[in-house]
Amino acid sequence: MLTVGIGEWIVSKNPEDVIKTYALGSCVAVMIYDVKLAVGGMIHIALPEASIDIEKSKRQPGYFADTGLPLMIEEMKKLGCVRMSVRVKIAGGASVMDDRGFFDIGKRNLLAVKKILWKSSLGAVGEDTGGEISRTVSLRVCDGETILNSGQREWTI
């Protein structure tokens, strides 16, 4: 089990690996899987734009959608991943502890992620986002299956 912390990403080509991140509330996880090469990547994004905290973005670029996601995509390209054989899935972006939508961090994270994916000519084939639940997400590198958990419930996207 490879654990992705907040603001981190992991890319793996080891078929025995499972990449997992915990307790996505307003944070967003992006999973990218190359079906031909069996290479998987996952990032746990906390905030949409690095301009919120430039110093933190230098220390931990994965914390922000606009700095971390492009870096993970580049890392996957270096391993031979190509647009035509990758599948993208997105999870998280909930509205937790913000019932009046004052900050809308979850929605802002989702919009930032989709904008970056669009600029890379990538679109999500599966998504489980929004709502008010926290999600834990796992990506199996052997086959790209994405499994979500919340409370006692488990499902795939």
C-beta separation of 137 from 94 below 8 A:
no
**Cα–Cα distances in angstroms (integers) from residue 15 to residues 4, 11, 24, 146, in the given order:** 17, 12, 24, 14
Q: Give the side-chain half-sphere CA count within 13 A for 22.
A: 5
Handedness of CA 5, 140, 130, 149 (dihedral sign): negative
Annotated catalytic residues are: 27
Which residue, among 92, 87, 91, has the nearest Cα to 143 in the 3D structure?
87
